[in-house]
Amino acid sequence: MIDTRRQDDASGDRRSDQPGGRGGKSVYLETFGCQMNELDSELVRGQLTALGYRFIDEPGDADVILYNTCSVREQAENKVLSRVGRVGIEKKDGSAVVLGVIGCMAEREGASMMTRYPQIDLMCGPGELDRLPMLLDNAMKTDAVEHADRIALQGNRTRRTSTLAAAEDDLEMLDLSRAFDPDRAAAGGRSAYVRITRGCNKFCTYCVVPHTRGAEVHRPPDHIVDECRRLADQGVIEITLLGQTVNHYIYTHGTSLTVDGREMPQVGPGLKAFRETNAAAGQRVTTFADLLHRIHEEVPAIERLRFVTSYPRDFTDDALAVMAASPRICNYLHVPAQSGSNRMLKAMNRGYTVEEYLEFIDRARAALDDVSIAGDIIVGFPGETEEDFEATKELIRRVRFKNNFIFKYSPRPGTVAINRFDDDVPFEVKRRRNNELLELQAEISAEVHREYVGRTVDVFVEQVSRRSQARQGNVELRWQQPQVQMTGRTAGDLITAFDLPAGFSPDEMIGRIVPITVTSSGPLLLTGHPAESPVPQ
């Protein structure tokens, strides 16, 4: 059976042979895509661990392989398809592994992917993850080789209808049941993500996310603050709030309640409605600024609070004011411009002009000391001329981003752009523009970094540097340079490297905030040494 509808009893009348279902079965989970997916993978891990599944780091011995997938560009999907292909060969050779494709690709492709790839046993979109254990249990009991009972759950498309509220409440339960595992979390268990909104209502013409993640939904503020508090109780000191347009967060109280009076997630307003809702009097609302303030005040153990991704429109002065007044909120903004040409921004349906973008950047720089600004740019959007491209270069120079993620336009099925515009910028041109922007951004990043030389910055230590990790694995190099290098980030998200102080192990440094005096810099990082001898903890 292949079923793309929401299934309330997809596992039929089958029962687990023991409570918790598949005790002892091993799962290999690989995550692609954005931080939302990383957080979803954490939820999946918690959910399945509680049911007795064991997570392993290599796919070789797994009973279950799960790919948590991304659809944002074709390349992201191709990575998954090559893995799926490999599992297909192994299954032909007799492997009985259960293969699940979850996340955005499962939502976008659904049953058609199962038809093309019979090795896939189950698919589950991001809006259906609360049902994954049931799906998996079902697949484990089915003869995986026969593929008698295969299910693809997609929910986000249908959830734009009346079922949204109830389904969102189920998803909310999954977020609330989060089993944070410090041993698996980043930076020695001291850094975590917290979702504040799901989905996206913006429908930029190139983007698949509104189709895969569904309507924009805002979580109740009490749930978010509680989650931050619980993470802090478990030792977390850095939290990154997540939302596709995170600064559009707004929760209107008293309008979305469960029958027992609990607040539940609520569908967010569209682009136009956002301003009107803000202006509406009489209803008690928690704005993005209010939410930042609450977390900062109510969970002071969080020493670093960040948020991604900001939308360049509607970033209010009160949110900037809260940032400026709150020492534990990082002066860091990831606020993608996408293009420096108004013609392109219009075709992309971004809803702002270059002038409005720059006005926001000026406001942010005026309000926030040392604010670090990062962004995303798409090159080769349909119709992009050399003139449009030059305008993007100009924007990059003007804003002086600390870094930019630069992407070549990739037409995505289901989006407006693929239907309306020819992908008419040749690949070679996309590649050249991409490289030119990488070069330009590297120059600007190097300039931004240079301004920090001689200063002392607080660095949240994350890991042994990649270079040191490589050296550790290479006996000859280890002999040449026994010194271990650590890396971490400043409040403005600048990557900073320093030598591990004598007498400390890497684990003793990871997850701490250490003052580092910057002695040199390059396009990628700052380098320095501890400003004072670290105190053992």
Q: Which of 100, 103, 336, 492 binds ligand SAH (CB under 6 A)?
A: 336
**Cβ 211 vs Cβ 156: under 8 Å:** yes
Q: In Å, how far are 1, 14, 507 from 11, measured between CA atoms?
A: 12, 6, 44
- Residue 37 Cβ vs ligand F3S, minimum distance, rounded to whole Å: 4
- Residue 415 Cβ vs ligand SAH, minimum distance, rounded to whole Å: 7
Q: Which of 43, 44, 70, 295 binds ligand F3S (CB under 6 A)?
A: 70
Contact partners, residue 240, CB within 8 Å, separation at least 6: 35, 191, 192, 193, 194, 306, 307, 308
Instruction: Report strand pairing: 372-379 vs 403-408.
Output: parallel
Chosen from ligand SF4, ligand SAH, ligand F3S, none, partner binding at 203 (C-beta under 5 to 8 Å by type): ligand SF4
356 forms part of the interface with ligand SAH (CB under 6 A): no
Chosen from ligand SAH, ligand F3S, ligand SF4, none, partner binding at 212 (C-beta under 5 to 8 Å by type): ligand F3S
- Binding residues among 27-56 for ligand F3S as defined by CB under 6 A: 33-34, 36-37
- The dihedral through the CA atoms of 376, 442, 37, 102 has a sign that is positive
Contact partners, residue 314, CB within 8 Å, separation at least 6: 247, 248, 274, 275, 278
- The dihedral through the CA atoms of 293, 294, 300, 306 has a sign that is negative
For residue 374 the two structure tokens come to 């990062």
209 forms part of the interface with ligand F3S (CB under 6 A): yes
Q: Find, among 306, 330, 249, 243, the residue nearest to 35 by Cα.
A: 243
Q: Which of 47, 212, 287, 441 binds ligand F3S (CB under 6 A)?
A: 212
- Binding residues among 67-86 for ligand SAH as defined by CB under 6 A: 72-73
- What single string gives the DSSP state of each residue in 140-163? HHS-TTTT-S-EEE--TTGGGSTT
Chosen from ligand F3S, ligand SAH, ligand SF4, none, partner binding at 33 (C-beta under 5 to 8 Å by type): ligand F3S
The CA-CA-CA angle for residues 129, 132, 136, to 5°, reads: 160
Binding site for ligand SF4 (CB under 6 A): 200, 202-204, 207, 209-210, 244-245, 311
Q: Which residues pair with 495 in a beta bridge?
A: 489
Chosen from ligand F3S, ligand SF4, ligand SAH, none, partner binding at 27 (C-beta under 5 to 8 Å by type): none
Q: Which of 11, 71, 119, 485 binds ligand F3S (CB under 6 A)?
A: 71
Q: Identify the helix (H) or strand (E) that includes residue 65.
A: strand 64-69
**Cβ 340 vs Cβ 354: under 8 Å:** yes
Pick the piece of the chain touching ligand F3S (CB under 6 A) from 6-14, 209-217, 338-346, 397-405. Answer: 209-217
- Binding residues among 87-126 for ligand SAH as defined by CB under 6 A: none
Q: Find, among 22, 96, 103, the residue nearest to 62 by Cα.
A: 96
- Residue 202 Cβ vs ligand SF4, minimum distance, rounded to whole Å: 4
* Euclidean distance between CA atoms 358 and 269, whole angstroms: 25
471 forms part of the interface with ligand F3S (CB under 6 A): no
- For the chain, state the CA radius of gyration: 24
Q: Which is nearer to ligand F3S, 45 or 471 (CB)?
A: 45
Give the number of residues in contact with ligand F3S, rule: CB under 6 A: 13
- Residue 190 Cβ vs ligand F3S, minimum distance, rounded to whole Å: 24
CB-CB neighbours of 440 under 10 Å: 16
- Residue 379 Cβ vs ligand SF4, minimum distance, rounded to whole Å: 15
* Euclidean distance between CA atoms 73 and 478, whole angstroms: 39
Q: Which of 140, 209, 217, 500 binds ligand SAH (CB under 6 A)?
A: 209
- What single string gives the DSSP state of each residue in 455-486? -EEEEEEEEE-HHHHHHHT-HHHHHH----EE
- Residue 338 Cβ vs ligand SAH, minimum distance, rounded to whole Å: 6
378 forms part of the interface with ligand SAH (CB under 6 A): yes
213 forms part of the interface with ligand F3S (CB under 6 A): yes
* Window 123-162: contact mask with ligand F3S (x via CB under 6 A): ----------------------------------------
* Euclidean distance between CA atoms 312 and 66, whole angstroms: 35
By CB under 6 A, name the binding residues for ligand F3S. 33-34, 36-37, 70-72, 103-104, 208-209, 212-213
By CB under 6 A, name the binding residues for ligand SAH. 72-73, 206-207, 209, 244-245, 309, 336, 338, 376, 378, 407, 409-410, 412
